[in-house]
C-alpha cells in the first residue's frame, strides 16, 4: 500500500475542501493511537493562517477522543516542535502549516516522541487506521477522554533554546532587516535578534490570517533585497511561513541562497570541530560550485532527492551534523532535528564571525538555469531515450566544469531542466538545446 494522504511533508491541501475538520480530527485520533502511550501527551502548534484555529480545534478533539492530553503551543515556527518535545517529553507533536504555500492551503505534519518527523511506515499506518475505521465508536475506545489546555510560555521556551545555542554570538550594533512572511516567526525572530544585541527592523510581521507568504518571505526574496538597499541595512534574512527555511540578502542587495549559507556553515563547523563525520548532506539541486568548494576543503558531500526529509534521513544514517537545501532548509543536528530558519540565520552570522556578508568566500556559484517544461505525460520521461542520450552527452561535455540535471516533477506534468556551467552563455546554450528537445519529444 502506498501513502494516499501524506506527501513529503505531511498532509497538505486547501483548508475546508481537502483538509477538512473531519479529516483533521481523524488524523489527530489515529496519530495519537499510534504512539502506544498509556495517556499520550500531544503538543499542537500552528502558523498564522485563518484556518489554523479551526484545524487546531479539530486535531485537539481527535487527540482527546483517543485519550491523549493536548497542550496548545499557539503560533510557533515548525522547528519549535521538536525542541519542545525534548524539553517536555511529549509523545507526539502536530504542526499545522502549509509552509510557503498561499493562505488557503494548510497542512498537518507530525513529529514523534524522539523529535523526528514520522517515518513513511508510521504515516502509512495512520492511513491504514483511517481506512479500517474512522469512527470513534470502534473497539478500544479509551476509558477516559483527554484534556485540552494551553502550554503557557511556549514561545519563551523556544527563545531560550535559541539563546542557549547562540549564547556566545554578539550582534551588538548589527543593522538587520528581517522579513517574517507574516508567518510563524513574526514574534520570536525579531526578539532573539534583539536579545543578541542587533538593531532590528522588521517587515511582514503583521499577520491577518490571509497575508502569509503574500509577496513576502523567502519565496519572494526580491522584496527584501529592495528594502535592504533602500534602508542601507547590513544584512537581511527572509523566512517562510512556518519558519523552517531562510534566505539572506547582503548589503548590496544580492541574494544568498541555501547553498551559500550551508557552505559558510560547513567550513565554520569544521574549523570549530563540530562537523561530525566531516560531511554535508544536500539535494540534487545543490549548485555545482558547492560541490567544488567542499571538495577543495576536504569535506564529503552526500546527495539526496529533493526534500528536507531525505536530507535528514541521510544525516541520521551517516551520523553527520549538517545538511540542507538550496531553498533555505538548513539542519544543524547538534541543535535541532529539522530545518530551522532562525537558527540558520544566526548560524550564518556566527560563521561570518563579524565579517560582512559581502565578504563571503566559502564557495563560488556557477551560473544556473532552471526551466520547467510542460509535458503531456511526465511518466513518459522514463522511456524517452533520445532525451536521456542528449542529457548524457551534454553532461559529459560539462564534466568537471558543471552539470546537467533533467527530471520529471513529482506532482505536476512538468519536466525540470537544470544546467550549471562556468559561464552564463554556456549555461543558456546548453539549457536551450535540452528544453527544445524535451518540448519536441514530450511537450
Q: To the nearest whole percent, how much of the chain has pLDDT over 90?
A: 91
Mean per-residue pLDDT, 346-350: 98
pLDDT at 133: 63
* DSSP, res 130: H
Exposure on the CB side of residue 316, measured as CA atoms within 13 A: 14
313 CA to centre of own chain: 14
pLDDT at 306: 85
Q: Is the distance from CB of 395 to CB of 317 less than 8 angstroms?
A: no
pLDDT at 378: 83
Q: What is the pLDDT of residues 72-103, one digit of tens each?
A: 999 999 999 999 999 999 999 999 999 999 99
Mean per-residue pLDDT, 351-379: 94
* DSSP, res 197: T
pLDDT at 7: 86
Q: Which of 52-56, 241-245, 284-288, 342-346 has the lowest mean pLDDT?
A: 284-288
Give the pLDDT band (50/70/90) at residue 135.
Answer: low
HEC string of 345-412 equals HHHHHHHHCCCCHHHCCCCCCCCEEEEEEECCCHHHHHHCHHHHHHHHHHHHHCCCCCEEEEEECCCC
HEC string of 209-257 equals CCCCCCCCCHHHHHHHHHHHHHHCCCEEEEECCCCCCEEEEECCCCEEC
Neighbours of 248 (CB within 10 A): 27
Mean per-residue pLDDT, 383-397: 94
Q: How far is CA 259 from CA 152, 203, 326, 329, 339, in A?
A: 37, 24, 5, 10, 14
pLDDT at 137: 55
Mean per-residue pLDDT, 256-265: 98
Give the pLDDT band (50/70/90) at residue 400.
Answer: confident
Q: Give the helix/strand (H/E) hosting 344.
A: helix 341-352
* Separation CA 414–CA 366 (nearest Å): 24
Give the pLDDT band (50/70/90) at residue 116.
Answer: very high
Q: Which of 395, 398, 412, 406 is nearest to 436 (CA)?
A: 406
Q: Is the distance from CB of 304 to CB of 314 less than 8 angstroms?
A: yes
Query: CA dihedral defined by 33, 92, 150, 160, rounded to 10 degrees?
Result: 170
Contacts of 383 (CB under 8 A, 6+ apart): none
- Grid cell at residue 248: 539572506
Q: Is the distance from CB of 229 to CB of 236 less than 8 angstroms?
A: no
Query: Could you give the maximum distance between any two Cα atoms of the chain, in Å?
Result: 70
Mean per-residue pLDDT, 31-39: 95
Q: Is the distance from CB of 342 to CB of 185 less than 8 angstroms?
A: yes
pLDDT at 114: 96
Q: What is the pLDDT of residues 177-202, one digit of tens each?
A: 999 999 999 999 999 999 999 999 99
Q: What is the pLDDT of residues 324-335, one digit of tens each?
A: 999 999 999 999
Asked whether the predicted pLDDT for residue 143 surpasses 90, the reply is no
Mean pLDDT value across the chain = 94
Asked whether the predicted pLDDT for residue 122 surpasses 70, the reply is yes
pLDDT at 4: 84
User: Does 363 or 141 have the greater pLDDT score?
Assistant: 363
The catalytic site residues sit at: 99
pLDDT at 235: 98
Q: Which of 10, 135, 136, 140 is nearest to 81 (CA)?
A: 10
Give the pLDDT band (50/70/90) at residue 307.
Answer: confident
- Give all domains of the chain, ordered by start, each with its CATH number: 6-151 (3.40.120.10), 157-255 (3.40.120.10), 258-359 (3.40.120.10), 368-442 (3.30.310.50)
Amino acid at each position: 500500500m502506498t501513502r494516499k494522504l501524506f506527501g513529503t511533508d505531511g498532509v497538505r491541501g486547501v483548508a475546508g475542501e481537502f483538509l477538512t475538520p473531519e479529516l483533521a480530527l481523524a488524523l489527530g485520533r489515529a496519530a495519537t493511537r499510534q504512539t502506544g502511550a498509556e495517556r499520550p501527551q500531544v503538543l499542537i502548534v500552528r502558523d498564522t493562517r485563518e484556518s489554523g484555529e479551526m484545524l487546531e480545534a479539530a486535531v485537539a478533539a481527535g487527540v482527546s477522543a483517543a485519550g491523549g492530553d493536548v497542550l496548545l503551543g499557539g503560533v510557533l515556527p515548525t522547528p519549535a516542535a521538536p525542541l519542545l518535545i525534548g524539553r517536555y517529553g511529549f509523545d507526539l507533536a502536530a504542526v499545522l502549516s502549509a509552509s510557503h504555500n498561499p493562505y488557503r492551503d494548510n497542512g498537518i505534519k507530525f513529529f514523534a516522541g524522539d523529535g523526528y518527523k514520522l517515518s513513511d511506515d508510521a504515516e502509512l499506518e495512520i492511513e491504514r487506521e483511517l481506512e479500517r475505521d474512522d469512527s470513534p465508536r470502534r473497539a478500544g475506545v479509551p476509558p477516559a477522554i483527554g484534556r485540552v489546555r494551553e502550554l503557557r510560555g511556549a514561545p519563551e521556551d523556544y527563545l531560550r533554546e535559541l539563546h542557549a545555542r547562540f549564547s556566545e554570538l554578539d550582534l551588538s550594533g548589527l543593522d538587520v532587516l528581517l522579513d517574517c512572511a507574516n508567518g510563524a516567526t513574526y514574534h520570536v525572530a525579531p526578539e532573539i535578534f534583539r536579545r543578541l544585541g542587533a538593531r532590528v527592523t522588521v517587515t511582514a510581521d503583521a499577520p491577518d490570517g490571509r497575508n502569509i507568504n503574500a509577496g513576502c518571505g523567502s519565496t519572494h526574496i526580491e522584496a527584501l533585497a529592495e528594502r535592504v538597499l533602500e534602508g542601507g541595512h547590513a544584512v537581511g534574512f527572509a523566512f517562510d511561513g512556518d519558519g523552517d527555511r531562510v534566505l539572506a540578502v547582503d548589503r548590496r542587495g544580492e541574494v544568498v541562497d541555501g547553498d551559500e549559507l550551508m557552505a559558510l556553515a560547513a567550513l565554520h563547523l569544521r574549523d570549530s570541530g563540530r562537523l561530525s563525520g566531516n560531511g554535508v548532506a544536500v539535494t540534487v539541486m545543490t549548485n555545482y560550485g558547492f560541490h567544488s568548494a567542499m571538495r577543495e576543503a576536504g569535506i564529503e558531500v552526500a546527495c539526496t532527492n529533493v526534500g528536507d526529509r531525505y536530507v535528514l534521513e541521510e544525516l541520521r544514517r551517516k551520523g553527520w551534523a549538517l545538511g540542507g537545501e538550496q531553498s533555505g532548509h538548513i539542519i544543524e543536528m547538534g541543535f535541532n532535528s529539522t530545518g530551522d530558519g532562525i537558527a540558520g540565520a544566526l548560524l550564518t552570522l556566527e560563521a561570518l564571525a563579524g565579517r560582512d556578508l559581502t565578504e563571503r568566500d566559502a564557495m563560488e556559484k556557477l551560473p544556473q538555469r532552471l526551466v520547467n517544461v510542460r509535458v503531456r505525460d511526465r511518466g513518459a520521461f522514463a522511456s524517452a531515450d533520445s532525451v536521456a542520450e542528449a542529457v548524457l552527452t551534454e553532461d559529459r561535455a560539462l564534466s568537471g566544469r558543471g552539470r546537467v540535471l533533467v527530471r520529471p516533477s513529482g506532482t505536476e506534468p512538468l519536466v525540470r531542466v537544470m544546467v550549471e556551467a562556468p559561464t552564463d552563455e554556456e549555461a543558456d546554450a546548453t539549457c536551450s538545446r535540452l528544453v527544445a528537445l524535451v518540448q519536441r519529444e514530450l511537450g
